[in-house]
A and B are shown apart, each in its own frame.
Chain A
Amino acid sequence: MTTRTRSPFSRSMSRRSLVGGGAATAAGSILIPKASASPRISFPRSQREQDGEPKSGGTLIYGLSTDPSNFEPHFSTGAASTSVKMMCYSTLLTYDADNQLIGDLAEEFGWVDDTTYQVKVRQGVTFHDGSDLTVDDVIFSLNRIRDPETAATNAPFYQEVTEIAAGDDNTVNITFNKPYAAFPHILANANNYIVSQAWIESGVDPMTEMMGTGPFIFVERVPGVSITLEKNPNYFIEGLPYLDGITFQPMPDDTTRMTALRSGTVDFVDYVPYTQMSIIENDPNFQFMSDSVSGFGWIGFNHEMDIVSDQNVRLAIAHGMNRETMVQTAFSGYGAPITGGLVPEGMLGHAPDLEGTFTGDYEHAKSLLDTAGYNPLELPMLSTSTYTVISRPAEAAQAELNQANINLDLELQEWLTFRQSVADGTHPIHAWGTAFNYPDPDFLYQYLHSSGTSAKWFRFANDELDALMEEGRFSSDESLRDEIYQEAQALAAEIVPWVYTIRRTQGEAMASYVKGYVHTEAWIPIFQREIWLDK
């Protein structure tokens, strides 16, 4: 059981943080060190200590999996875009190598009371144009996110905010209707950058230009060719960045991108396809850093349609898939099965009792089908051809469910058509995948609460789950939240609003001389700022 201290600037502690004493870090926040690095991240922590003293200089050539469509700081334009934007813009909070929240533009941060969150804005930070970062800029940025006209991705998370105002001594107070424990993660989120009020209001187009407080300055963009950043000499963290610059080169074709890395054309790539993971892992000239936690696949239902509205049918589908086999089939083993709840081990709300609920029991699935009266069952399943990380688990599921007398006719549409179809509810079943928005079980809200975007696509509503989701979101008691989310997952396993399939391994690969990078479970590429080239 964890206890929660009420001192003004403590972070929410996860259950893992029991071990170890406290050691103060810079800027006054109390950092509670981890006992050991998370075992699920394939990155040897000791490696960093062996690397030695960072050298300055050099330009990193980065093969990017998608050409960012635009640079708007408050839209989510994909993980690849984040790799770029996060180098020019900063957020109030970010994550450290142990996936704990630390301050970035915020010097200190925490709840002053149940419904007021406070950040103390760091002094002496300048924007790339030389102007100072002020409290007004922070307030402006957060309000810009809240403004419906901006259509900012994070806007829904600010729904319960009643006021954002400056406090004493360079602080900003964010006041809520109700307590909102997961909120600090929102401040570390990739679409929550702090922008300069003067710059935005001067009429620039933030879609095509970037100007922030980040470790690198935006120089130019040639679409389809390159995005060039150069070192910010006035970056607020002393000594960083080590690199003189980063040049991003979009290479959407997986094979092309990996060949570029392996032939030395680029130093670093994001999003390694699973087909090349073993090649990279076994090549001493390269490093591969990944996690098998955050990316996950699911099968969703349109609860208003016949057949799948029957809980037994959904349960049959949940039981009719052997997740271990699916990890092999879909990703050659580069992933992890989800046999219980979605919240992974180590995150608040993980339900150890649920592990092993869904093991791929074809006979049990068939008997459920019999009860429902649909044995054998044939249904159309929708998925997308655009992303193999989504289509392969779909195909693997199809193969598995065949053995449980469930024959799914797969229809793969390209991305936007697929998303439209899901929103329109054209198919009874769809297979999709994504990653946690942030490392807090509150991310389940979107899927399980009837007002959540995904729940609306599922046309699903359950009062009990609604109550649990709300209680979990608006509670500030850690242990209570832990219980709530475990209960919610247990309920979800019974009524099956959606079915989780497998997690995937996702990570970056780089040449052996690229040092300093850490892959975070939250997929926040902040450690790009610590990269240095050992050559």
Chain B
Amino acid sequence: MDTTANATGPVTDPTTAETGLATRKAAPGRAGRWNVLKNGRVAFPLSVLIILALVTIAAPLVAPYSPTQLLGAPLQEPGRSHWLGTDDFGRDVLSRLIYAGRVSLGVAAGSVALATIAGVTLGLIAGFARGMLDMIIMRAMDILLSFPTIVLAIAMVAFLGPSIRNLIIIIGVIYTPRFVRIVYGSTLQVSEAEYVQASRVIGSSDARILRTAILPNVMAPILVQVSLSLGLAILVESGLSFLGLGAQPPTPTWGNMISNARPFMEMFPHLLISPSVVIGMTILMLNTLGDGLRDALDPRLKGSR
């Protein structure tokens, strides 16, 4: 979508590859940005997510059993010795769920980090430098976006192998174009703002302009997109697991726990419920965080709070 930013078009929802365009009257002050954390809609989901991340990181300390050890009694209902029951191999579901968090969150974080870094770099270059570089980068992103994800995923898994590191690369590559577009749009917008033009006129170097004027303004939509993309990345990983392209057994991920639970859905629903609830809640928190960040960081809406 190449519609330029002068529209009073509202902030479009970045969950589906839209450029996040917000007209800004002025760059928010630095102090103001940290106030974001005091906002309830940001603080609450953020805290939940941090706790979740800590629990999964501390998996070896927290989980009651090993995630891969067969404990002899498959398909047990939740009970005293296994709070969430056991799976079809006789492994403790709760322990697997906690360890799976490491992989799912790790893959999501890694891939989104990759996409962010690549996206910001490419988007800034394209938006700031314009000209040939702009065209090449944006057209390349268009090509990547028009490529069906499935083909990319299968081809890359077949080529690179289905390791976790490669999953991060694959999902990162898939999400890069979205970040590029957001950054590009914001960069375009900001660089046309008066104060930036003024900076140029007085001779500020490009690097300084990038650093002081553009980057801070681009941060907000990026942050929003990051939190939303984290949720999407978790979903993509679960989809890839469903299609058999995900992490290797016996490594648990939330996604492959769900897809492995599917054949047993009718007789042993507990296998499906726990990872679904956890994924759902995590993504819920991520989306709430994204919404909260967007509402909090967008100065136009500040007045209404």
Contacts and interface: CB of A to CB of B under 8 A. Distances in A.
Chains A and B directly touch (beta carbon < 8 Å): yes
Interface of A: 254-255, 273, 275-276, 279, 328-329, 332, 385-386, 391, 395-396, 398-399, 409-414, 417
Nearest to A409: B248
Contacts of A414: 154, 157-158, 244-245
Interface string B259-294: 000111111000000000000000000000000000
A279 B157 CA distance: 35
A386 B248 contact: no
B162 A412 contact: yes
A413 B263 contact: no
Contacts of A328: 74
B244 A411 contact: no
Nearest to B247: A412
Interface of B: 68, 70, 74, 88-90, 154, 157-158, 161-162, 244-245, 248-250, 262-267
Contacts of B263: 254-255, 273, 275-276
Contacts, number: 53
A413 B248 CA distance: 9
Given A385-B244, A410-B248, A410-B250, A395 B89 contact: yes
A332 B248 contact: no
A391 B88 CA distance: 14
Main secondary structure of the interface of A (DSSP, over half): helix
Given A412-B248, A414-B158, 7 more contacts: A329-B70, A329-B89, A385-B245, A395-B249, A399-B68, A410-B248, A410-B249
Contacts of B162: 385, 411-413
13 contacts: A255-B262, A273-B263, A275-B263, A329-B89, A385-B162, A399-B68, A399-B89, A399-B250, A411-B161, A411-B162, A412-B244, A414-B154, A414-B245
A414 B248 CA distance: 12
A515 B70 CA distance: 42
A413 B89 contact: no
Contacts of B248: 409-412
Contacts of B264: 275
Given A411-B161, A414-B157, A399 B70 contact: yes
A335 to B, nearest CB: 14
B247 to A, nearest CB: 9
Contacts of A255: 262-263, 265
Contacts of B70: 329, 399
Nearest to B267: A279
A512 B75 CA distance: 29
Contact of A386 (B90, B244, B249, B250): B244
